[in-house]
């Protein structure tokens, strides 16, 4: 998660725009309250970040007094804001403006190392995994045995929990990309652009393999192929019945081409929609037709 987040600028471009618009539209008195809070906050952050440098100028007691004074000023400034702003405005200041001012101050004082913290996103992923349907009672035993006997670094099928984590990771990265600019790796310096596509992160590596129940007596057979031989399943290829057309007519006709949506989108017997992440049409019918015609 850290690797992906390190590519993004740590301040939301949407929050930046909203905050600038909000402050710009304020009257002189209210704007002064915000500017005062911003100044005190930035000073406090600078004192905390440069503690070693300030320790050469102040004694520990003097430094602690400065920090306490700044904390008191920050608290008083916030009280004045809470008295002046109410309801939606105060909610915006608390949830959007103050975090933005904090991130901006941190970024200005530490441009090289300040990054998005991964912890809120990690917690979101854990929460999302269970929302998506992971159930310890249903999947726990399988994952436990897989972790015990499998290898997380091999190319084998991943744990079910890991599959849910991949889905949640890509979902949160999509949200991040909608709100934060991404570093331009091909430019000199710290240039950031709007997110254009998955090639900028190279993290599209979801394991598409399904875990299906297999008859132990048939575990070495191709279960999907056997099902196709017996009767067609909901995931089967679209049936194509135009092999007997004359060659020229067949090669020039477009009317018999299958609908792309019918190839990629499937609905199972329970009415749940599925989308093929990887698809290879079955060429068995074509092979049979070629044998018959020769």
**What does the pLDDT look like over 86-142, one tens digit per residue?**
999 999 999 999 999 999 888 887 766 778 888 999 999 999 999 999 998 988 888
pLDDT > 70? residue 256:
yes
Same domain, 95 and 16: yes
Looking at 109, 144, 177, which one is the last position of a domain? 109
Q: What is the pTM of this model?
A: 0.59
Same domain, 83 and 20: yes
pLDDT > 70? residue 231:
no
What the block records as the tokens of 116 is: 């998005």
33-37, 103-107, 157-161, 212-216: lowest mean pLDDT where? 212-216
Residues 20-60 have pLDDT tens digits of 999 999 999 999 999 999 999 999 998 888 888 888 888 88
Same domain, 104 and 29: yes
Same domain, 17 and 82: yes
Please name the residue that has the structure tokens 């889905």. Answer: 167
Q: How far is CA 174 from CA 4, 177, 291, in A?
A: 11, 5, 49
Give the integer Cα–Cα distance in Å for 18 and 22. 6
pLDDT given for residue 294 in this prediction: 47
Helix, coil or strand: residue 267: strand
Nearest to 26 by CA among 93, 79, 75: 93
Please name the residue that has the structure tokens 């992160």. Answer: 201
In DSSP terms, 8 is beta-bridged to 182
Higher pLDDT pick, 285 / 124: 124
Same domain, 67 and 134: no
pLDDT given for residue 219 in this prediction: 47
Residue 208 resides in a domain: no
Give the number of domains in the chain.
3
pLDDT given for residue 220 in this prediction: 44
pLDDT given for residue 211 in this prediction: 56
Residue 159 resides in a domain: yes
Same domain, 24 and 101: yes
Share of the chain above pLDDT 70, in %: 79
CA atoms within 13 A on the CB side of 121: 20
Determine the structural domain holding residue 182 and report its residue range: 119-200
Same domain, 129 and 196: yes
């Amino acid at each position: 998660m850290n690797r992906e987040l390190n590519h993004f600028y740590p301040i939301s471009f949407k929050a930046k725009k909203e905050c600038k618009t909000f402050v710009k539209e304020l009257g002189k008195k209210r704007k002064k309250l915000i500017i005062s809070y911003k100044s005190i906050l930035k000073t406090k952050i600078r004192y905390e970040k440069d503690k070693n440098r300030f320790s050469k100028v102040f004694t520990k007691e003097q430094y602690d007094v400065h920090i306490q004074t700044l904390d008191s000023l920050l608290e008083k400034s916030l009280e004045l804001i809470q008295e002046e702003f109410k309801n939606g405005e105060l909610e915006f200041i608390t949830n959007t403006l103050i975090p933005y001012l904090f991130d901006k101050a941190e970024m200005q004082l530490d441009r090289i190392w300040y990054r998005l913290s991964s912890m809120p996103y990690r917690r979101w992923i854990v929460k999302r995994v269970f929302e998506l349907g992971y159930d310890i009672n249903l999947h726990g035993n399988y994952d436990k045995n897989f972790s015990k006997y499998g290898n997380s670094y091999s190319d084998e099928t991943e744990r079910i929990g890991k599959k849910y984590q991949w889905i949640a990771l890509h979902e949160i990265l999509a949200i991040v990309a909608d709100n934060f600019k991404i570093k331009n790796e091909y430019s000199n310096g710290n240039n950031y652009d709007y997110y254009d596509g998955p090639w900028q992160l190279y993290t599209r590596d979801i394991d598409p393999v399904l875990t299906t129940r297999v008859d132990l007596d048939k575990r070495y057979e191709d279960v999907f192929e056997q099902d196709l031989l017996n009767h067609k399943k909901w995931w089967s290829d679209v049936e194509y019945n135009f092999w007997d057309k004359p060659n020229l007519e067949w090669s020039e006709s477009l009317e018999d081409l299958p609908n792309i949506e019918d190839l990629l989108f499937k609905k199972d017997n329970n009415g749940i929609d599925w989308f093929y992440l990887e698809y290879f049409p079955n060429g068995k019918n074509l092979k049979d037709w070629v044998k018959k015609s020769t």
